[in-house]
Structure 1
Amino acid sequence: GKLTLSVPKAVGRFAIHPLMLEFFNRYPKIDVCLRLEDRVLDFIDDGIDLALRITPTPSPGLHGKPLMTISHVICATPVYLEHYGTPQTPQDLREHSCISLGETPADSRWKFRRGGKTETIQTHGRYAANHTAVRLDAVKQNLGIGSLPLFTAREALARGEIVQVLPEWEFISRYSGQLWLLWSGNKHMPARMRAMIDYLSEKMKPASGSPALTPRSKTTE
């Protein structure tokens, strides 16, 4: 049967889409419609079977399982840092071109935390983009220091194409938090939904200390 999965755009592109080929090989009778949407879709009105959302806990009436924690980093290329210098403190970012989300004025006010200390810096830059892949590419093109979800930056960091800036500081983003796999509280769960839940749980590391499947329908199969 067909399974419709709603995911945030960046999560879908970088975390879910790469897992689909193996899923199709493992479950040849299950078709998938991947809805990449940053807005919250309604399970019933929009025909959603499963959804991935960043939330502290599932909303009332929804069942869920935590998959991973979304954290953000700021990064630049070695070439950019060699030319313009490497920031040593959050305040140093004022002298750099910073690539932010750009959806609201608050997106250029970067907030950092280290120990019990929090600092908010008003950044400036020539470029902003509300798509993670675009910001990552802009960073790679030496356009500045960009804010990125860690799961999108990890490969480029591992290859040395980009490096993390101010690694001793935690970058606080409104899109950070626990990523949950959610479904509505129907009594009967089709086998295709259970297959996807089990598959994503296997492939995406659960957050440390997070609860297991909560709550779970007694008649789930």
Structure 2
Amino acid sequence: MDRLHLMTVFAAVGEEQSFAGGARRLGMSPPAVTRAIAALEARLGVRLLERTTRHVRVTEAGQRYLDDARRIIAEIDEADEAAAGSNAAPRGHLAVTAPVLFGRIYVTPGIVDYLRRYPHMEVNAMFVDRVTNLMEEGLDVGVRIGELPDSSLRAVPVGRVRRVICASPAYLERHGAPRTPRDLAAHTIVSSTGSSAPPDWRFTRDGRAQALRLKPRLTVNSNDAAIEALRDGFGVARLLSYQAAPLLASGELREVLEDYATPGVPVNIVHRDSRQGSPRIRSFVDLMVERLRAEPNLQTGPYGL
């Protein structure tokens, strides 16, 4: 069998963690996928997948091969696109990642717009509240909120957001609003482990920075869950301004400690640098840059909404 074909089949099965899932993605029969994986393992002389009655897992050697296969397949796709011409309509597959709530609010509508414009494209979106490694996880484009480390990725700035301290009017009526950051020690704190923010709550006033380590009474693993707790009148939480903006506008939440707000953090679209300039990646990045730069809630100034 063709080596690139075997590599493509293995990448699909490894990413789906399922022979049936890989077969569906590629439009192949499950027996054909099984034969391809067996042929690849025989060619390499190493087991790439561990099979059980319920799961398929990539072995340590298989993970290294999967990382290389993703890179090689991506480079071949980009070479094909470049040969077809820079004006060719994008076609093929695109893998996108973003934080969960940001993905739901902003990225999903952009993906739908993109797919309507380019009927020969398919998109796989992975929304997770952690920093992903685009190359290792086979991703093409990602949204990053916060300062960027040095890397080989290209970054396009699309806005800024800031962290805000919020509670419901009902909670503040019962417990009073904190006047200084230290007052938060007497309040019920809701914390989300789905946030990339540092554990210390940081504040700034008159050019002086202050950091507090607060003990949450409720810790949840998603920003959505933290927001629901606030809406139910339970506690004070730290959110990003784009997450809080609709609820602040509707009056369901109120911001506190505005005088101690910290500077905003950048929002960037990052993508793999490509010498050929993939039309798939370039067209999606261009569309999302235009959409996100037009979003008022992503254009937070240094201190204000």
- Per the alignment, residue 135 of structure 1 pairs with 226
Q: Residue by residue, what CA displacement relative to the aligned partner does 1:134-155 show, whole Å, maximum 9, x if unpaired?
A: 1111110111011111111111
- Per the alignment, residue 77 of structure 1 pairs with 168
- Identity in percent: 28
Q: Which has the higher contact order (CA 8 A, sep 6+)?
A: 1
TM-score (ref. length: structure 1)? 0.80
Query: C-alpha distance in 2, partners of 1:183/1:112?
Result: 32
Conservation of the 8 A alpha-carbon contact between 1:58 and 1:182: no
Shift of 1:59: 3.1
- Per the alignment, residue 185 of structure 1 pairs with 273
Distance 1:115 1:26, change over 3 A: farther
Q: 1:56 aligns with which of 137, 141, 147?
A: 147
SS of the counterpart of 2:112? helix
Higher strand residue share: 1
Query: C-alpha distance in 2, partners of 1:39/1:89?
Result: 31
Residue 25 (1) aligns with residue 116 (2) = yes
Distance 1:43 1:110, change over 3 A: closer
SS of the counterpart of 1:124? coil
Shift of 1:37: 2.8
Conservation of the 8 A alpha-carbon contact between 1:9 and 1:36: yes
Distance 1:129 1:46, change over 3 A: same
Query: C-alpha distance in 1, partners of 2:232/2:287?
Result: 36
Query: C-alpha distance in 2, partners of 1:90/1:40?
Result: 29
Distance 1:195 1:58, change over 3 A: farther
Distance 1:67 1:80, change over 3 A: same
Distance 1:15 1:124, change over 3 A: same
Query: C-alpha distance in 1, partners of 2:213/2:130?
Result: 27
Shift of 1:74: 0.8
For this pair of structures, how many residues does the alignment match?
204
Structure 2 unpaired stretches of 5+: 1-91
> 2:281 is matched by which residue type in structure 1?
M
TM-score (ref. length: structure 2)? 0.60
Query: C-alpha distance in 1, partners of 2:234/2:262?
Result: 20
- Per the alignment, residue 149 of structure 1 pairs with 240
- Per the alignment, residue 120 of structure 1 pairs with 211
Structure with greater Cα Rg: 2
> 1:161 is matched by which residue type in structure 2?
E
Query: C-alpha distance in 1, partners of 2:224/2:210?
Result: 27
Distance 1:165 1:49, change over 3 A: same
Distance 1:54 1:122, change over 3 A: closer
Distance 1:57 1:118, change over 3 A: closer
Conservation of the 8 A alpha-carbon contact between 2:110 and 2:287: no
Structure 1 unpaired stretches of 5+: 210-221
Conservation of the 8 A alpha-carbon contact between 2:194 and 2:222: no
Distance 1:204 1:119, change over 3 A: same
Structure 1 ranges of 4+ moved more than 4 A: 206-209
Higher helix residue share: 2
Query: C-alpha distance in 2, partners of 1:207/1:125?
Result: 30
